[in-house]
Chain A
Amino acid sequence: MRALDLDYMLGLLPILLKYLPLTLGMASVSMILALLLASLFAIIRVVRLPVLDAATRVFISFFRGTPLLVQLFLFYYGLPQLFSFLTAIDGISAAIIGLTLHFSAYMAESIRAAILGVDRSQWEAAKSIGMSTGQMMRRILLPQAARVAAPTLINYFIDIIKSTSLAFTLGVTELMGAAQKEAAGSFLYFETFIVVAVIYWAVVESLAFVQTQIENRLSKAVNR
């Protein structure tokens, strides 16, 4: 075994950290869009809106049933061949769209389960005072479901952050893409990728810490 090139690793850290904002940016935008989309899907499924319910089910099944990498290639390389207006799409946007759709499918199921887990009496009380289904969802059920789903949703955010590394296959120079380039120059593959791994790890661990804080806060605020 040869010794690790520690100087190289220390020098690499600041270079790679410059790409962390892009990684986190892509992950955050995807997370927010996925949350919105997933809430919409969950409501459609819970209320069993005709036609849309069936369509949503197929969508969810497809995006859970196929690899994210395949989906990303489909969006970035495949779709522009069918729709010429998509040729302008850059790797970052394609990655965000792919991550959003992929994870919205998973998150929709967690949110749906959380809504269905809210006590029936909450629906009845909301309906009894004359709320529409939309008002009931927005003001009563979703806030309570969010509390239940929060830990799972944060886990998906962690997954999203890690999955942004796939964007390098679409030519995006994010954390993983930058590392790939550095390694190709230095040939120090182990040093390079262990530094990348540690950066992801640190980010995920800080998030896990925040997650615990949020969970403590939520369980204190409204305990049922």
Chain B
Amino acid sequence: MIQIRGLTKIYDGVPVLSGIDLDIKKGERIAIIGPSGTGKSTLLRCLNFLETPEQGEYVLDGKSIDVQKAKASQIKEMRLRTAFVFQNYALFANKTARENIAEGLITVRGEAKETAFERADEILRDIGLADKADAYPASLSGGQQQRVGIGRAMANNSELMLVDEPTSALDPEWVDEVLQLLTRVAQARQTMLIVTHEMAFAKEIADRVLFMEGGRIVEQGPPEKIFTSPDDLRTRSFLRKVL
């Protein structure tokens, strides 16, 4: 569905992503694990054009986008095809839960407010927050905010959901409800790329696990393989530390 070719991102002369190649198939759920500062977030951010990579291309349904020469229309297309769930939720502070979910439908996709709000209410029921439709983010718990964040990503029916450490900013008490919701999203075969430190969760939902270190994909494979008998020494030593 989306192929990433030779993706390179450099900060201050230091490569943070060094020629990432990755094919993402429709319906595939990919977990990315790896030590801090290895470019996991950067990879997701590049796919959403929150960062402009120095080199590489994205191939969408056979059409290629050169990241350096991407036109505004191609950047927008990429953003519409991907939906970001942020570590710190990043809900619009001036909008209610319902408005947060409907915002993209109204402003970007030009839907009528009524239909967008209907869709938002449907999602709010689905994520168990129907009673919080009119609440502003500041009055929601971290777990509730992140669920709205996931709802916002669901609303856009994007092909690829990019989820960056969805629970690492949460108080422990809210982690489960967020992981449960994401598990349901994954079970609906939403294509997703999810960076997480929750290994049990990764094992449960992922079709494929990528281990990243130093801006490269060091090793990848099905979770059974990666978590039990990884080939690479670096994967092994990382897993020994976190498991």
Contact = CB atoms under 8 A, between A and B. Distances in A.
Interface residues of A, number: 22
26 contacts: A119-B93, A121-B90, A122-B90, A124-B50, A124-B84, A124-B86, A125-B84, A125-B86, A125-B90, A127-B50, A128-B48, A128-B79, A128-B82, A128-B83, A128-B86, A129-B103, A129-B108, A130-B79, A131-B107, A132-B76, A139-B107, A222-B136, A223-B136, A223-B138, A223-B139, A224-B138
Nearest to A144: B94
Given A128-B48, A129-B108, 19 more contacts: A121-B90, A122-B90, A124-B50, A124-B84, A124-B86, A125-B86, A125-B91, A128-B82, A129-B79, A129-B83, A129-B152, A130-B108, A131-B104, A131-B108, A135-B107, A139-B103, A139-B107, A147-B94, A224-B138
Give the interface centre of A125, A130, A140, A143 by most chain B CB atoms within 10 Å. Answer: A130
A170 B49 CA distance: 54
B146 interface: no
Contact of B92 (A130, A140, A147): A140
B80 interface: yes
B138 A222 contact: yes
B156 interface: yes
A222 to B, nearest CB: 5
A121 B88 contact: yes
Contacts of A125: 84, 86, 90-92
Given A125-B91, A135-B108, A222-B93, A130 B76 contact: yes
Interface in B30-69: 48-50
Interface of B: 48-50, 76, 79-80, 82-84, 86, 88, 90-95, 103-104, 107-108, 136-139, 152, 156
Give the interface centre of B49, B83, B92, B152 by most chain A CB atoms within 10 Å. Answer: B92
Interface in A181-224: 221-224
B93 A122 contact: yes
A140 B138 contact: no
A222 B93 CA distance: 7
Q: Nearest 3 A-B pairs (CB), nearest first?
A: A121-B90, A129-B104, A125-B90
B74 to A, nearest CB: 12
Contacts of A139: 103, 107
A171 B98 CA distance: 54
A143 B95 CA distance: 10
Nearest to B149: A125
A126 B79 CA distance: 10
Given A125-B86, A130-B76, A131-B107, A222 B152 contact: no
Interface of A is mostly: helix
A126 B76 contact: no
Contacts of A122: 90, 92-93
Contacts of A128: 48, 50, 79, 82-84, 86
B18 to A, nearest CB: 24
A132 B80 CA distance: 12
Nearest to B44: A128
Contacts of B136: 221-223
Nearest to A147: B94
A81 to B, nearest CB: 46
Contacts of A121: 86, 88, 90
Contacts of A140: 92, 94-95
Interface in A137-191: 139-140, 143-144, 147
A222 B95 CA distance: 9
A7 to B, nearest CB: 54
A126 B99 CA distance: 13
A131 B156 CA distance: 13
Interface in A8-24: none
Contacts of B49: 127
Contacts of A147: 94
A143 B94 contact: yes
B237 to A, nearest CB: 33
